Amino acid sequence: MAKMISQDTFDDVVKENVMDFSMTPTEAKEETIKQFEAQGINLTNIIKDLSINGETGRPIINETIDKIKTHISRKSEDMQQLLELLTVLDLECQKSLAHRVLAGKNGAHDALITVLEQTLADTEETPLNTPLLCKCLQAANSLSQKQPDLFDAEALAIVLRLLELKLVDQVDLTCLTLQWLQKACVMHEMNRQNIMSTNLLKLTKPLLRKDNARIVRELTAVLRFLVLDDDIRVEFGCAHEHARQIANELLLQLVELLPVYEDVNVLSDLLLTIGTLAVRQELCTLIDDAGGLRLIFDIMKANLNQVRLSREALKLLRALAGHDAVKAHIVQEGVAPIIKELLETHQSNENIVTAALACITTLTLRVQEHSTAFFETGIAEIIVEALRLHPKNKIVQRNGAWAIRNMVSRSRNQCETWLSFGVEDLLNSAMAEHPSVAQDIKAALRDLGCNVQLREEWTGKAEKKIAA
């Protein structure tokens, strides 16, 4: 087994080459790598691209963290120097995950927490030092990227303290605070649970306002990240319970913001967040009762050419259709012509086609009247054309087969029309091209009345005959 060394050992040799042999940082690193490789040392665990101070030979990231610690211990009042150090730390942490891990091991998180705590403590006597807080939060965001384990109780307390100040006019500061929360939530179930155990929802409720587009986008991202279920270290997460708690507190307010904004990015985030939170039957009803369906339809019709917004709207409608009464209301309110127009407008976009076909599948499931409503718009020909345009996309072919099956299963009078568009040949070609979804395609062919070769996948045979 090849020998390995620590990062400190590697850095010490680089420093020695700089200081004792007057090498440039680049020459020192190259020489150090050659020395260790000649000795058979495995350097895969070493960060070789650290920026080196040409005067001291030390990695800049280590030196910067030490200077910040010294600034704190000496209670220096040189704010300009501290701002410059925080900027350097921020830039170094942005370079790679390895840089961030090294910074974390050298105490960067604790140093930033201390600066933030001291700055917030000073606000009781002096005005808020917004530039310093922003610089600290920028560095904390860069450091925490893909390192949610660093986010601890002290960090959460600082976030809550900043939100308690209700700095709605300090947009940059508030956004950086919310971004820090986002990074803490990704792939970390315990952080999410700790955050949800606080009064965060009550503190963030005032931020959902008409004149806060940037803040609304960052806050809705936090809400979505709080209902993630992506931490493989935890057997059971609380995503569903978190979604219920957030929805009970903020869902109506999110729906009420839909007619307020015209920015498609804000609207897309709102629709995505509402769909993420609509995890229970009563929540779907709540959105419907609040006039949410009409608002969604108006947004879709006004933004037919917006790809992301259209996709999020279709996904939200599909989520709401999980409630049978709401599903009926969606179709009765006239969604079929809107989806038909969307599908026609974005025929070449696989993402929109996939979402639209999935939405049609859900809305027409086991309801003949819904199937008829869609069929009467002339959507059959458009669906067939979508399948013809994307023969290599397995998900499009599968979703198309689902939509066709659900539309004709209780409306066999439609079959002749579908077949006249050449759908049988398309489905047979898709079955040959994508064997993994053959069963879905066969179901559509069967309900269309086509010849389908059904094969019994498994037949049990007893090892011994059962006595009569």
Give the side-chain half-sphere CA count within 13 A for 204. Answer: 28
Tell me which amino acid residue 330 is. Answer: I
Element (H, E) at 240: helix 239-256
- Read off the DSSP letter of residue 463: S
Please check whether residue 205 is in contact with residue 165, taking contact to mean a CB–CB distance below 8 angstroms: no
In 270-298, which positions are buried (b, 16+ CB within 10 angstroms) versus exposed (e)?
bbbbbbbbbbbeebbbbbbebebbebbbe
The pLDDT-based confidence of 3 (bands split at 50, 70, 90) is: confident
Which two three-digit tokens encode residue 395?
């998900």
- pLDDT for 93 equals 97
Terminal CA-CA length for the chain: 66
User: What does the pLDDT look like over 258-309, one tens digit per residue?
Assistant: 999 999 999 999 999 999 999 999 999 999 999 999 999 999 999 999 999 9
User: What does the pLDDT look like over 152-165, one tens digit per residue?
Assistant: 999 999 999 999 98
Residues whose CB falls within 8 Å of the CB of residue 245, separated by 6 or more in sequence, listed in order = 196, 201
pLDDT of 467 > 70? The answer is no
Tell me which amino acid residue 70 is. Answer: T
User: What does the pLDDT look like over 48-86, one tens digit per residue?
Assistant: 889 999 889 999 999 999 999 999 999 888 899 999 999
The pLDDT-based confidence of 412 (bands split at 50, 70, 90) is: very high
4 pairs with which residues across the strands? 42
User: What does the pLDDT look like over 99-146, one tens digit per residue?
Assistant: 999 999 999 999 999 999 999 987 666 788 999 999 999 999 999 999
Residue 37's CB is within 10 A of a number of other CB atoms, namely: 11
